[in-house]
Structure 1
């Protein structure tokens, strides 16, 4: 992986976007489906979930916005279209299935924005970009599940909507570490800055609003 990262840099990739003045934490689809044995989406993401909870707590202390996303489909509807045909396991996100529920931690606090989506990107077909603009956000610290799927799609769309995406590597997870690492490498080369949890926590500390 390090050789590939060097090759990207030599050929003009991997520029730095950096932190803006107003970050928000974007929590992508952290729900029971990824942590429940027997779920078709079960993945070894416990460490990523803990890191996400730590980052969410710091953001709240700093006064930075926290936005959660979840996938939701009405049973029998055409919502999700070809995405649901391609990934039948997405049926776990039909309304009423507890696998689509948020965890005890992290979970949305009263007043925090929850974006319900039907596709991979948190921006596609939702009001997320408008909401972030109203909040004055210029940077999104992207966390959640999974790195190769909804995290990648959301980070790419954040860039395309004019927000600086900083993907927090420790706070994202996938079905296999090879998928996780490969997608982080490619995101860092083309669409986002990939940072670790300590860097994300420090950035939120610097962004703390004066009392």
Structure 2
């Protein structure tokens, strides 16, 4: 690659970055957005308050349009036996999700309602070891607008598995966050290039609104 060509141009020339578009039957999937990521001083605190506020707005737009809302959450028994090698790799961090730890709770400003679906998981992807794919297929969902944390971790893993299960993954850029801007940017770039459509929250809200009626 010559010095004059940008990374964007190189990837485009190779054929990366195609668009999957918006399907007809979406759901909003909120990945792990809870107290662990929003509590200053916590091991997983990520400084993602702006993305959290955008996710609240997305949830309101989904509710107004009758779009199903799905939350994923993490929970382990003390010691993390369900998490296997993942828990063993980062026990201090994943201990935030041990049963009874308040960091594992949803933020009161964004909690599931009785009409929402809640997926409890033990690994990065909301699909791995859960019945999420079956639930989505049963409801005829073809598209997932994905918000949450972190982009390099559970959001990325969930988007990749969504693609593999036949759902269009829409990564909502301003509703997904990470603890480092460079990591955030690199993962959004790679997701857009290979696995998902990276979109803005305003576009998703208009998409939801257009489904009414």
TM-score, normalised relative to structure 1: 0.96
Q: Distance in 1 between matches of 2:6 and 2:139?
A: 40
Q: Distance in 1 between matches of 2:6 and 2:154?
A: 27
Q: CA deviation at 1:77?
A: 4.9
Secondary structure in 1 matching 2:85: helix
Contact preservation (8 Å) 2:79, 2:95 = no
**Equivalent in the alignment of 1:155:** 159
Matches within 5 A, 1:46-195: 46-88=49-91, 89-195=93-199
Q: Distance in 1 between matches of 2:51 and 2:98?
A: 24
Q: CA deviation at 1:126?
A: 0.3
Q: CA deviation at 1:105?
A: 2.1
Q: Deviations over 1:160-193 (max 9, x none)?
A: 0000000000000000111111100000000000
Q: Distance in 2 between matches of 1:141 and 1:175?
A: 21
Contact preservation (8 Å) 1:141, 1:200 = yes
Contact preservation (8 Å) 1:24, 1:65 = yes
TM-score, normalised relative to structure 2: 0.95
Unaligned 5+ runs, structure 1: none
Matches within 5 A, 1:12-31: 12-31=15-34
Contact preservation (8 Å) 2:174, 2:201 = yes
Q: Distance in 2 between matches of 1:162 and 1:168?
A: 18
In the comparison of the two structures, how many residue pairs are matched?
A: 208
Contact preservation (8 Å) 1:23, 1:207 = no
Unaligned 5+ runs, structure 2: none
Q: Deviations over 1:52-110 (max 9, x none)?
A: 11001100110010000001101145110000111121011001000000011221111
Q: Distance in 1 between matches of 2:56 and 2:46?
A: 17
Q: CA deviation at 1:6?
A: 2.1
Runs of 4+ in 1 over 6 A off after TM superposition: none
Contact preservation (8 Å) 2:80, 2:87 = no
Which shifted more, 85-94 or 167-176? Answer: 85-94
Secondary structure in 2 matching 1:80: helix
Residue of structure 2 aligned with 1:3, choices 6, 10, 29: 6
Q: Distance in 2 between matches of 1:32 and 1:200?
A: 25
Contact preservation (8 Å) 2:70, 2:116 = yes
